[in-house]
């Protein structure tokens, strides 16, 4: 059974341990889907959708939950490619601008050959497509997301996946 923490428990965890999270990098037609963050950390920056892995939740289930909850998409974990293990350090947290947050992040990448229809959740003011090659000097895009974009540009394969294949 997956366990979500109380606010008090989550605050204690943020103050004392790294969080394990997954970021979702969705590319379509040479563009990446980014959301403008409504809350800290990375508030007001464009960032990939993502979230933490809950206790007793397999990372594969976390990918599927995050894409469903944050985007309203039915994507399967086995269609994504792990981009590696990345540390993200922030000076603030969702609860306190003076308490730092450390994420051990497992970003995953998928390239689609059909444009997905998505819906934003409360964590994002908006969701937008950004051309991968126009992101390098865009100050609205968080530097950690720019690092993902560099990785994607270097690693992209010519193969893409149809949404109909993802749902089967």
- Binding positions for Mg(2+) are 50, 70, 123
Give the Cα separation of 168 and 112 in Å (integer): 15
pTM of the model: 0.83
- Binding positions are 50, 70, 123
CB 130 within 8 A of CB 138: yes
What tens-digit pLDDT sequence spans the chain (168 residues)? 666 767 777 767 767 778 999 999 999 999 999 999 888 888 889 999 999 999 999 999 999 999 998 898 999 999 999 999 999 998 877 777 778 889 999 999 999 989 998 877 777 778 899 999 998 889 999 999 999 999 999 886 555 555 555 544
Domains and CATH numbers, the chain: 20-167 (3.90.79.10)
Give the Cα separation of 67 and 65 in Å (integer): 6
């Amino acid at each position: 059974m997956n366990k979500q923490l109380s606010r008090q428990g989550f605050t204690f965890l943020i103050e004392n341990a790294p969080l394990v999270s997954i970021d979702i990098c969705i590319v379509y037609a040479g563009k990446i889907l980014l959301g403008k963050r409504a809350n800290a950390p990375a508030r007001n920056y464009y960032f990939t959708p993502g979230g933490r892995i809950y206790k007793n939740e397999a990372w594969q289930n976390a990918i599927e939950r995050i894409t469903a909850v944050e985007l309203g998409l039915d994507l399967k974990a086995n269609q994504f490619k792990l981009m590696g293990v990345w540390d993200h350090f922030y000076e603030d947290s969702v609860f306190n601008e003076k308490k730092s947050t450390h994420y051990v992040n497992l970003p995953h990448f998928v390239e689609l050959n059909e444009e997905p229809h998505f819906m934003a959740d409360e964590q994002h003011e908006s969701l937008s497509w950004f051309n991968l090659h126009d992101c390098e000097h865009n100050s609205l895009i968080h530097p950690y997301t720019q690092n993902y974009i560099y990785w994607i540009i270097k690693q992209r394969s010519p193969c893409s996946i149809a949404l109909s294949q993802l749902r089967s």
